[in-house]
Amino acid sequence: MKYGFDNNKYLKMQSEHIRDRIAMFGDKLYLEFGGKLFDDYHASRVLPGFEPDSKFKMLYQLREQAEIVLVISAPSIERNKIRMDSGLTYDAEVLRLIESFRKMGFLANSVVITQYSGQPSADQYRLRLNNLGIRSFLHYVIEGYPDNIDLIVSDEGYGRNEYVETTRPLVVITAPGPGSGKMATCLSQLYHEHQRGIQAGYAKFETFPIWNLPLKHPVNMAYEAATADLNDVNMIDPFHLEAYGETTVNYNRDVEIFPVLNAIFEQILGESPYKSPTDMGVNMAGNCIIDDDSCREAANQEIIRRYYHCLCELKRGNSSKDILYKLQLLMKQAGLTINDRPVVKAAMQREEETGHPAVAIELSDGTLVTGKTSDLLGAASACLLNSLKVLEDIDHEVHLVSPQAIEPIQTLKTSYLGSINPRLHTDEILIALSISAATDKRAALALSALRQLKGCEVHSSVMLSSVDEAVFKKLGMHLTCDPKTESDNQQ
């Protein structure tokens, strides 16, 4: 993988910048932490070299100064809202995050339940938190929020919310997903701190859009593609341009809410510490790009991947035409077509040649490897083995796993485990390869080459099973699929 991002520089620069922002306010900084704290695979895909846990590692450097407060909305608890990536409900994700933070030595003992209006499920969740020894606090619905500033900044507004007592200079406000009420929690706490004579400030940490990259830079456009379902739109920050004569990028929701935030800051603190939404941010990612061309290419591929993902989700009934139209528009604005993804053409050509589903993998040096569907292996499994052979210069005709070893596995699947498809999935062929590696040096070489597949592009001419998708993800490979099933091919 060609690196375009200096991760070590980022960890150092980002933590230092947050320390500077703490010092700017004196006693305490409330840091609204947006996006994924763990497993930020989007950032690692568009900024090659950015590690999925970089934000957590950065925060780890500040753990002696930091305290974590989790935020969840009562409506999310009531609706059993689910994170699509993990399959966990928001309330379960909060508990998982607290456990993860504690294991790494963070102080994490507080949960704020926002938009509370007597929901029974929120009351039950609060009881559960109490039984686990976790403090919980209620923040109420405020009529006319966020425009009714006189009510918001009063004893009947923020003053009615329960105050979260914290002991560290950096209070990180994070949540299981968007719409949880992180910003409102920060502002409520500012009000209460000011009432108690404590100097406190607010800042926002989000990786995207990157404020000091051009508006139409592929990395920023890839963020729009990733949030197409939220209708986020990148835009020039007009407040920053007016205040400093400097062009910076933000997104519509922050720009639209800034006049209201500014008025709330003035009401609470007497004057606003910020002249623009960009001022509020602390993101240093743009300063750590070391190869702009690599990041542009990676981001372009992400835009195309998001387009294919939407097509497949439409096929499954989990997306909408409006999201697809937005992604098509983004591709046009970026000057991209599906032909800019070489694995697509390679997989489709292989399918045309064989009349069966095919998969293509692009190795880090640009070599394209394909795999076809056979009686023994699915196309994904065949392509995976073929790629390992290319990486270790093993003759294509060599059987890394003998057919005689595959046949008993097929019998197990179909005769005992009730599977209709006898062909081996990627996880099954990798287990078989691991067994062969114990006695076959070439199989052992192929197995050791797996790490070289990280960052490689993959395309399937049909939608793959969840098992195969998961294996490619675990290997760090970037998968797209055509929006059709194997049965579609047979019609």
* Residue 178 pLDDT: 84
Q: Which two tokens stand for residue 427?
A: 């996880």
Residue 328 lies in a domain: no
Same domain, 152 and 17: yes
Same domain, 200 and 272: yes
Same domain, 275 and 415: no
Same domain, 35 and 140: yes
Residue 317 lies in a domain: no
* Residue 153 pLDDT: 95
Q: Is the pLDDT of residue 237 over 80?
A: yes
* Confidence tier at 456 by pLDDT (50, 70, 90): very high
Residue 455 lies in a domain: yes
Q: Which two tokens stand for residue 374?
A: 């056979």
DSSP secondary structure code for residue 356 in this structure: S
* Residue 77 pLDDT: 97
Q: Which of 194, 126, 183, 135 is nearest to 159 (CA)?
A: 194
Q: Which two tokens stand for residue 376?
A: 């023994």
**pLDDT tens for residues 120-149?**
999 999 999 999 999 999 999 999 998 899
In the chain, how many domains are there?
2
* Residue 420 pLDDT: 87
- 125 φ, ψ to 5°? -65, -40
Its domain, for residue 426, covers: 352-484
- Integer Cα distance of 113 and 122 in angstroms: 8
Between 423 and 489, name the one with better pLDDT. Answer: 423
- Integer Cα distance of 454 and 477 in angstroms: 5
Residue 304 lies in a domain: no
Q: Is the pLDDT of residue 23 over 60?
A: yes
Residues 222, 46 contacting (CB under 8 angstroms): yes
Residues 359, 461 contacting (CB under 8 angstroms): yes
> Which of 335-344, 354-363, 369-378, 481-490 is predicted with the least confidence, judged by mean pLDDT?
481-490
Same domain, 392 and 259: no
Classified as helix, coil or strand, 2 is coil
- Integer Cα distance of 442 and 445 in angstroms: 5
Cβ count within 10 A of residue 456: 22
Mean pLDDT of 32-53: 90
Same domain, 121 and 243: yes
- Integer Cα distance of 7 and 43 in angstroms: 11
- Integer Cα distance of 196 and 84 in angstroms: 40
DSSP secondary structure code for residue 482 in this structure: -
The amino acid sitting at 349 is Q
Mean pLDDT of 391-403: 94
Same domain, 263 and 369: no
Residues 299, 222 contacting (CB under 8 angstroms): yes
**Among all chains, which residue has been given the structure tokens 């790009």?**
289
* Residue 82 pLDDT: 87
**Among all chains, which residue has been given the structure tokens 């993902």?**
309
Going edge to edge, which strands form the sheet with 28-33? 135-140, 107-116, 66-73, 170-174, 28-33, 200-205
- Integer Cα distance of 221 and 208 in angstroms: 10
Residue 227 lies in a domain: no
CA distances from 397 to 67, 378, 427 (A): 58, 17, 22
- Integer Cα distance of 446 and 424 in angstroms: 18
* Residue 489 pLDDT: 62
Residue 345 lies in a domain: no
Mean pLDDT of 155-167: 97
pTM: 0.90
Same domain, 154 and 281: yes
The amino acid sitting at 300 is N
Strand intervals (E) in 260-394: 358-362, 368-372
Q: Which of 244, 268, 288 is the last residue of a domain?
A: 288
* Residue 371 pLDDT: 97
- Integer Cα distance of 276 and 273 in angstroms: 9
Classified as helix, coil or strand, 170 is strand
The amino acid sitting at 476 is G
Q: Is the pLDDT of residue 426 over 90?
A: yes
Residues 55, 40 contacting (CB under 8 angstroms): yes
- Integer Cα distance of 472 and 162 in angstroms: 46
CA distances from 187 to 159, 161, 191, 221, 266 (A): 11, 11, 6, 30, 12
Same domain, 395 and 269: no
User: What stretch of H or E contains 166?
Assistant: none
* Residue 490 pLDDT: 58
**pLDDT tens for residues 192-236?**
999 999 999 999 999 999 999 999 999 999 999 999 988 889 999
Mean pLDDT of 175-181: 90
* Residues with Cβ within 8 Å of residue 451, at least 6 apart in sequence: none
Strand intervals (E) in 102-143: 107-116, 135-140
Same domain, 122 and 241: yes
Q: What is the mean pLDDT of the chain?
A: 94
Q: Is the pLDDT of residue 180 over 70?
A: yes
Residue 230 lies in a domain: no
Domain of 378, CATH number, reads 3.40.140.40
Q: Is the pLDDT of residue 34 over 90?
A: no
Distance of CA 188 to the CA centre of its chain: 27
Q: Is the pLDDT of residue 262 over 70?
A: yes
Q: Is the pLDDT of residue 491 over 60?
A: no
Same domain, 22 and 146: yes
Q: Which of 269, 288, 307 is the last residue of a domain?
A: 288
- Integer Cα distance of 393 and 368 in angstroms: 14
Domain of 271, CATH number, reads 3.10.630.10
Residue 313 lies in a domain: no
**pLDDT tens for residues 299-351?**
999 999 999 999 999 999 999 999 999 999 999 999 999 999 999 999 999 99
Same domain, 282 and 359: no
